[in-house]
Structure 1
Amino acid sequence: MARQPLLADRAFYLGPVFRDAADRHGAVFVTLDRPLDVSPGLGVDLSYRVLADVVDELSGRLWEAGVRPSEQVVVHKTDNVDIVLLTCAVSRIGAVPVLLSPTLAGPVAGQLLQRLRRPWLITDRAKLEGPLREIDDLSMLVRRTLSVDDAPGAEPLEKYAGAEPPTPVRLHPREPALITHSSGTTGVPKLAVHCAGAMWNRLVPQKAMGWPTRGETAALHMSFVHSRFYHLLGVLLRFGSPLVLITDPDPATVGPLLARHRPGIVETHPNTFVLWEELADAPGAPLSRVRSYGSTFDAIHPRTVKRLLNASRRRAPWLIQLYGQSETGPVAFQWFTRRSASRADGRRVGTGIPGFTRVRVTAADGSRARPGEPGRIEARTRGRILTYLGAREHYERQLDGEWWQMGDMGYRSRLGALYLIDREVDRIDAVHSNLEVEDTLMDRLEELREVVIVPGVDREPVPVVCVRNERPLDPERWREATADLPAMAEPRQWRFEELPMTATWKVKRVEITRMLAEGARA
């Protein structure tokens, strides 16, 4: 028992983050781009204190409804910031939030619900009357259904408004504290089980990285069901940063919002940064005060890095890139400055985080690959998840002792820097690195919003391209840009919205290959 306080100090709990921040920093502003579904009357100009009160009040409603510690509570609703508040409220009473992306198809959500222990479900009318209608007998998969609105067939959370918030509950640091799911780029997502102890080991190095920008206004457009968001939130709330939380990434609405608040920190998904390149020259100079950009989830194109950094009028802005997975948290990082971005290799994803992560590359026979030799990327980290819920065997197959197989191919330089080649499942024999060719094309053709090279029916490389404003691709410019690149099939032009994507805007390459094989045409 004497060690319990020490254990508690080495754990990251989501329940108290807003209340602790409000007690430490007071009424720091939080701006939303749309009102909360759970409390629309509060509007969009809020504060740490207001959000802490909402979390406490929601936890009282959930407790009054009957939710108890260690029970699983699925949050699956229309995308909005109240996903975050509901997650913290569930955690505050010691229950385990299970975050399912708003973008999941109904049958996929149903498969994930089957892996749980008859959880509670918090949702809304749009989900119950939309994707969830495709699930056969939803009531048999969940204990009870609560709704943030007046959805038929569910109990409204409003029914329990005014209930007294219970005393906060903290589970042991090695017990499940949060369940998220993998991206699902290669099939049905896996449920990743996080504990507070491992989450603390992800948080600490990110606090160190955030120290130089402590207190700067932060604008975030990120998946609210991804563990990365909660670690970044923990860092920003600790340092008292004003927040601008964005659900709609459309530059037409984001530009004026950022121009009004002049954030010093901006973080979003790499593909959203590509979309936001046009903010570099937007009216009001919305990116002019940015000191630090944050990019995670996927590698970012060098062209995008250069445009973002050049849009800032700060003396020495930077972009920090984190490489990792939901299962591991960040395992490698690197910084880009204006000077380094001009000669950046988009395949370089950095080095391990000293004291927290180690990265290695192994050859086909399992031995350590020599510098420059391609192989499987593996990581050793204190932030690894406990297991895959309902798929323990798959989790064990990912492990080599304490080393986790990232599913990527890459190599290390003589100085230890890690370079990413491709996902193992995406390799094409005729192309050294799909990702490297994509970076080259994005740099040469500024009109491209995205280019993805996938294997075709005969494993030939097929480029699928998306052009800004849906203009036709200029065939002559394409021929010039690809003249010295590996031979590829004729490009297929799709609308960006037609690309199958994950919640973090990762392109589902395997799905595109399937669509091409079935003769899908955009």
Structure 2
Amino acid sequence: MKGSTVYTSIQKRGLHIGLLPEMAAAVNPSTPITLDHDLEVLPEAGRRLTVAQYAEHVDDLAARLWAAGVRPDEHVVIFKTANADHWMLAAAVSRIGGIVVNLSPQLDPETVAVLLKRVGQPTLLTDGAKLDLLASVSLDDLTRRVLSSAGERPGAVTLASLAGSPRVRPVVRPIDEAAVITHTSGTTGIPKLVVHTPRTQGIRLLPQWRLLSLMRKKDTVAIHVPFVHSRMVAAMSLALLREYPVLLMREADPAAVAEQLVTHRPVFIEALPNSLMEWEELADDPRMPFGNVKVFSSTFDAIHPRTMSRLLKASNRRGALFFQIYGQSEVGPAVGRAYFRHSAHKANGRCVGWAMPHGAARVRVVSRDGHKPSEANPGFIEVAWDGLAKTYYGEQDRYDTNRNGDWWRTGDVGYRTRFGCLHMLDREVDMIPGVRSSLEVEDVVLSQLDELSELVVVQGPNAEPVPVICTVDDAPLDLARWRRAVADFPQLADPIQIPQAELPRTATLKVQRLALARRFGEQPRPSA
């Protein structure tokens, strides 16, 4: 069986992550999967697997879940310590017809309780550490049963105790019914539960399948994406079906990342924008950890030109490129564009790309005030295609407010150039009076001040734009250099410097801008 044949089948029948490892093993059973950490649910498995071994482990875990009482159509909430076994467990749930509900390990107990209640008596698949965290939550009232992937706790059945359970036949969910539920970043409150079907998951592979065609050889793909995110479904599916060796990375510390990149020399890196920003310092590492990278890829959030430029210049590969995809959990990949070594530093970071061809998403910009959207008068960005998420679980009315026929309103504002490039200026909720684009300010200033590790412009208590900054190693800010860098933005208030560790972040490392704005609206502002 060839990867292209399997891919064609997925486009017709949908993507079922419970079947994916077995399908990938049929394409090439020896494709290697390497981890930078141990699997908690299967500590004896080691850090180097073949896709055939991976598929065998998923089948084994599916049998254990069935023995625990999990059945088709049942919701299984997976809330556990960050680990690559999360994706294996999700595949195992899917393999027996369950509906996967992925929750970020960064969620607090109160939020988890709200989401468990919204799902309605699910099975909770967790671990000892998270059960300790949930000690104040009445799990008996909120769940049907509690299973532990690692660690014994009263009231929880351990998957280890079910080892050797009889294998069961796969159960395939209907193509247009819920298969995997992920959640939004929660930047504005309790996350929304986004429902993905086999059809929508399969359709979303199309743009990335073509991107991976740039790689002629079967070189290593490094993936550093939250294991709970819908993006992880696409990243793993594409890499395995195209027979690329996979390096699954959990650790984000630059020193640990450098060791993995130097050892495995990936040709393709998929990572969060803020992770890549944190790894910029590795561009100066004499071992050249990015030296073999042909393609950097990122989605989730816009990325600063400075970051792209530094990473591309750290690659030795001819024609190295940075491919940015603009999208969100509800729509998948909407538009994209490539940046190259000699021009990335001059790029307009607000230009997030063009619609991708051949059946990919359509994008439009709709007026907010009756006037034609433009750079000076940005409109609402909307997306339409068959890859849109089906609904928000338990919040259909909330979903419907963003849906207008085929079109989904993303919550971002922007405009299109006469050449068709989509410019995303800000989230609508983050717009600040007198500032055309907070993100644009951040792009420009970061490109001039290498000592800044992060810059976030938020609205202050008097509607003024407040730049919140973090510096490399938390060094004091040079105010004279700052003033020169922001000379074109006189509307900015004085900067506020905080340690980077104090930035409130989502599961995908986005800064929670509203939470940051509230912080400075509720207490005296410290000096820079």
Deviation at 1:323, TM superposition (A): 0.5
**Map 1:385-424 → 2, pairs under 5 A:** 385-424=389-428
2:79 aligned with 1:67: no
Quote the Cα distance in structure 1 between the aligned partners of 2:497 and 2:248: 33
Q: Are 1:241 and 2:244 an aligned pair?
A: yes
Distance, in Å, in 1 between the alignment partners of 2:231 and 2:11 is 21
Q: Give the SS at the match of 2:339.
A: strand
Separation in 2 of the partners of 1:60 and 1:159?
12
Q: Which residue among 159, 175, 178 is the counterpart of 1:176? A: 178
Residue 484 of structure 1 aligns to a residue in which SS? coil
Task: Return the match for 2:135 from 133, 141, 144.
Answer: 133
State the Cα RMSD in Å. Answer: 1.6
Identity rate, percent? 44
- Other structure's SS at 1:176 match: coil
Secondary structure of residue in 2 paired with 1:462: strand
Amino acid at match of 1:435: L
Q: Does 1:433 align with 2:437?
A: yes
Partner in structure 2 of residue 254 of structure 1 = 257
CA distance in 2, matches of 1:367, 1:460: 26
Alignment length (residue pairs): 516
Distance 1:26 1:307, change over 3 A: same
Q: AA paired with 2:246?
A: L
Would you say 1:445 and 2:449 are equivalent positions? yes
**Distance verdict in 2 for CA 1:366–1:106, change over 3 Å:** farther
**Contact 1:360-1:368 at 8 Å conserved across structures:** no
Letter aligned with residue 59 of structure 1: A
Cα offset, 1:424, TM superposition: 0.4
Contact between 2:363 and 2:382, CA under 8 Å: does it hold in 1?
A: yes
Where 2:316 maps in the other structure, the secondary structure is coil
Match runs of 1:364-513 below 5 Å? 364-365=368-369, 369=373, 373-513=377-517
Question: Which letter does structure 2 place at the counterpart of 1:186?
Answer: T
1:146 and 2:150 correspond: no
Which residue number corresponds to residue 290 of structure 1? 293
- Residue 511 of structure 2 aligns to which amino acid in structure 1? V
TM normalised by structure 1 equals 0.96
Give deviations 1:84-140, integer Å, cap 9, x for gaps: 10011011111011000000011011111111121111101111112x1232x1211
Alpha-carbon contact 2:454-2:471 (below 8 Å) kept = yes
The SS at the match of 2:21 is helix
Deviation of 1:521 (Å): 6.8
Mapped partners of 2:451, 2:375: distance in 1 = 36
Q: Secondary structure at the match of 1:454?
A: strand
Deviations 1:320-359 (A, max 9, x none): 1111110010111111111331421000001112222111
Pick aligned residue for 2:82 from 79, 82, 86: 79
Change (3 A) 1:242 1:7: closer
Asked if 2 retains the 8 angstrom alpha-carbon contact of 1:331 and 1:353, the reply is yes
**Partner SS for 2:388:** coil
**Distance apart, 1:518 and its partner CA:** 2.1
Distance change in 2, residues 1:345/1:474 (3 Å) = same
| Contact map agreement 2:206 2:360 (CA 8 A) in 1 | no
Q: Secondary structure at the match of 2:90?
A: helix
Q: Partners in 1 of 2:377 and 2:177 — Cα distance?
A: 40
Change (3 A) 1:521 1:216: farther
**Shift >3 Å, 4+ stretches:** 5-8, 365-373
Distance in 1 of aligned mates of 2:274 and 2:201: 26
Secondary structure of the residue that 2:470 maps to in structure 1? strand
Aligned pairs for 1:86-97 within 5 A:
86-97=89-100
> Could you report, residue by residue, the CA deviation over 1:261-316 in whole angstroms, capped at 9, with x for unpaired residues?
10000111101101111111214211100000011000000000001111110011
TM-score by length of 2: 0.95
CA distance in 2, matches of 1:358, 1:227: 20
Equivalent pair of 1:68/1:93 in contact (CA under 8 Å): yes
Shift of residue 416, structure 1, vs aligned partner: 1.0
Distance 1:7 1:203, change over 3 A: closer
Structure 1 residue 430: Cα displacement: 1.8
Question: Gaps (5+ residues) in structure 2?
Answer: 1-7
Taking a change above 3 Å as real, the CA distance of residues 281 and 460 of structure 1, as seen in their structure-2 partners, is same
Q: Choose the corresponding residue for 2:35, options 32, 37, 51.
A: 32
Instruction: Verify the 8 A CA contact 1:331 1:381 in the aligned structure 2.
Output: no
Deviation at 1:198, TM superposition (A): 1.0
Residue 443 of structure 2: SS of its match in structure 1? helix
Instruction: Kindly provide the amino acid, as one letter, of the partner of residue 480 in structure 1.
Output: R
**Is 1:121 aligned to 2:121, yes or no?**
no
CA distance in 2, matches of 1:209, 1:141: 43
1:104 alignment counterpart: 107
Write the letter of the residue equivalent to 1:176.
Answer: A
Distance 1:200 1:327, change over 3 A: same
Residue 47 of structure 2 corresponds to 44
Which string of whole-angstrom CA distances, capped at 9 and with x for unpartnered residues, describes residues 469-500 of structure 1? 11111111111111221322221111112111
- Hey, what does 1:204 align to over in structure 2? 206
- Cα distance in 1 between the residues matched to 2:10 and 2:59: 24
